């Protein structure tokens, strides 16, 4: 089980898909916060939701060798979304903490927060959401 976290090919595939979801996530959050003056936590959350949809589909098709299009479902996405809510909590704690305690710009704060949530997401996804059967 823990050995699944050490699969370098899987991690690289996961990272590739996550980069796509993160790009959409980051762009939407910046657009909402910068153009529409949406509060940072809300902009970050909406970006996170968009990224999670992109990531769920991509991870099913590409990241994990034992999953494919046939393993996608609303129930599966619900499980994925519930699992990564913990990574959202980590992300928001980083966003709010750095915004409160430092003068760092939002774009940098968001990058740090995304990195923290990526680590949590990979662990949760590999060990629970997309766990190998058996």
Q: Please give the Cα distance from 111 to 44 (Å, whole number).
A: 11
Phi, psi values for residue 34, rounded to 5°: -85, -45
Q: How confident is the model at residue 1 (pLDDT cuts 50, 70, 90)?
A: low
112 pLDDT tier (thresholds 50, 70, 90):
very high
Question: Nearest-CA neighbor of 84 among 124, 44, 45?
Answer: 124
> What is the per-residue pLDDT for 75?
87
Is the pTM value of this prediction over 0.85? no
Count of residues for the chain? Answer: 134
pLDDT value of residue 67: 86
Q: What is the pLDDT of residue 98?
A: 97
Is the pLDDT confidence value at 134 over 80?
no
């Amino acid at each position: 089980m823990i050995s699944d976290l050490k699969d370098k090919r899987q991690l690289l595939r996961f990272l590739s898909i996550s980069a796509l979801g993160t790009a959409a996530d980051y762009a939407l959050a910046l657009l909402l916060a910068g153009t529409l003056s949406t509060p940072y936590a809300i902009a970050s959350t909406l970006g996170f939701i968009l990224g999670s949809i992109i990531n769920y589909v991509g991870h099913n098709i590409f990241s994990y060798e034992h999953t494919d299009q046939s393993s996608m479902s609303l129930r599966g996405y619900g499980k994925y979304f519930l699992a990564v809510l913990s990574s959202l909590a980590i992300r928001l704690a980083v966003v709010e903490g750095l915004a409160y305690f430092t003068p760092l710009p939002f774009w940098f704060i968001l990058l740090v927060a995304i990195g923290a949530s990526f680590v949590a997401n990979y662990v949760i996804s590999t060990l629970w959401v997309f766990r190998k059967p058996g």
